[in-house]
Amino acid sequence: MRIASLLVAGTIGVSGLVAAGTAATAADTPDVPEGPGFAIKSQNGGEFAGHAEAGGRIAWHGAKSFTIHVARVADICLSGGDGAGAYIWYQTRLGNGFSEWKRTPIADTSGCSDGDVDHGDFRVYSSETIGAARVIVRECEGKDGCNTSPNDNAQSDWKWNPNR
């Protein structure tokens, strides 16, 4: 498996990425250590016929950094294809009162219910204290074609930073 590294400049900080370069099958999905985990699933319907699923955990690295460990993200369709993929986003609550909502590169775009899933790690850095974070799975048409339909989006509970 190829591991890619990329630094992405953010509006308030810098985010770092270490993600799988290729999609994996369910059998290849790594175990995720215990921690503040998440298991989320969007609803069927909305703009797209299927839904998106994701599971993993958040690991905190002090007051201004955390890693989203995604063990599995999958695009599931009821029949045929719906033209969408499953994408991982995150939202933070910052110490300055602002919230940040961003897309990660972790996604299942290989086709509906084809048995392939994606997984990876995404490290978030901020110049502000991060009070809490949550993971969002979105069923979208392309990485920038996401809508705000509640049926196509699902989020985890807030995972509070013990270092805040």
Q: Tens digits of per-residue pLDDT, 95-141? A: 888 888 899 999 988 877 666 678 899 999 999 999 999 999 998 87
The 10s digit of each residue's pLDDT in 142-156 is: 656 677 778 889 999
Structural domain including 139 reads: 3-160
Instruction: Pull the structure tokens for residue 106.
Output: 């972790």
What CATH number has the domain bearing residue 29?
2.60.40
Name the token pair of 127: 């110049």
What's the pLDDT tens digit per position in 40-54? 999 887 777 788 899
HSE-CB of 74 using CA atoms within 13 angstroms: 18
Q: Which residues contact 14 (CB under 8 A, 6 or more apart)?
A: 7, 8, 125
pTM of the model: 0.74
Q: Yes or no: say if 118 and 107 are a contact pair by the CB < 8 Å rule.
A: yes
Number of domains in the chain: 1
Largest CA distance in the chain: 46
Please tell me the distance from the alpha carbon of residue 164 to that of residue 151, in angstroms, as a whole number: 32
Question: 11 pLDDT exceeds 80?
Answer: no
